[in-house]
Amino acid sequence: MHILITGTAGFIASKVAELLLDEGHTVTGVDNLNDAYDVRLKEWRLARLQARPGFRFQRLDIADRRALRPCFQNSPPDAVINLAARAGVRPSVQDPWIYLEANVTGTLNLLELCREFDVKKLVLASTSSLYGASNALPFREDANTDRPLSPYAASKKAAEALCYTYHALYGLDVTVFRYFTVYGPAGRPDMSPFRFVQWICEGRPVTVYGDGRQSRDFTYVDDIARGTVAGLRHLDYQVINLGSDQPVVLMDLVRLVEELAGRQAILEFRPAHPADVPATWADIGRAEQFLGWRPQVPFRQGVERLVDWYRDNRDWAREIETNSR
């Protein structure tokens, strides 16, 4: 198959591309290489992909329909995996417009081009942030998602709604994945696993928002990539959680990194952000039912791999900026 992957220099998308290439598929990757976070990580991931046969890259913004059109016109893909997005709760509060452009307009452009060029399958990356703070744990896909707490969550809600519309109107086969907190080697530097590893290894203060007792459903990136590829099968329209089903308290992550790094964290507590939720926890029953998917990498093993990657790349990873822009 020929797969178009958007956001291909991103954390999840680069792993999905690697997995598809391993399986013998051809991949066209697009990414605008924006500065949402330190671009050196994106360049590192992209360089690994560009060394692979069967991979082609085009630098473009999916919010620019005219630039995106040739990806369909010249060699229409068999399927589209839309992993391009502006992600992150707190930055979306500061600049909501760019989130709507990437996550809503970009998704609409892809849907329209799928319709025009008769592409039958689209996979959309969505987020556990849709569940907000008022739903019962663990989060089920049929929970109320009408009260998003951030522009990021609202933009993903809009993208999901557009996907359903194109399924209903044109029969587009759509799989929507609500990813829970994804971590692993070369992960996003604005998220706590990367930050904690860098800050503790370098003896820098570790900023903890709130009291550190909030919990997150940390899910290893290879498991997420495997589930995403499984979503290419025919499913009509399905919304599916991908998570570990094993929430971890934030301070337990700090203690584990301390143990693996052999250094004690210098903790600095700050007030919790109103857009943050106290807990996330995925019900993964649908993933098991429709995909036969369960996570395989235990949390400790995943963090060990992250710490090992950081040590192997410390000469430049220590300089990565850990604040989103």
Q: Which residues have a catalytic role annotated?
A: 152
Query: What is 174-205 written as a DSSP string?
Result: EEEEEE--EE-TT--TTSHHHHHHHHHHTT-E
Q: Counting Cβ atoms within 10 Å, is residue 26 exposed (0-12), middle (13-18) or buried (19+)?
A: middle
The distance of Cα 210 from the centroid of its chain, to the nearest Å, equals: 24
Neighbouring-strand partners of residue 27: 3, 55
Q: Are 17 and 29 in contact (CB under 8 A)?
A: yes
Residues 6+ apart with CB under 8 A from 305: 184, 185, 220, 297
Which 3-state string (H, E, C) describes 65-113? HHHHHHHHHCCCCCEEEECCCCCCHHHHHHCHHHHHHHHHHHHHHHHHH
Nearest to 197 by CA among 300, 269, 303: 303
269 sits in which H/E element: strand 266-270
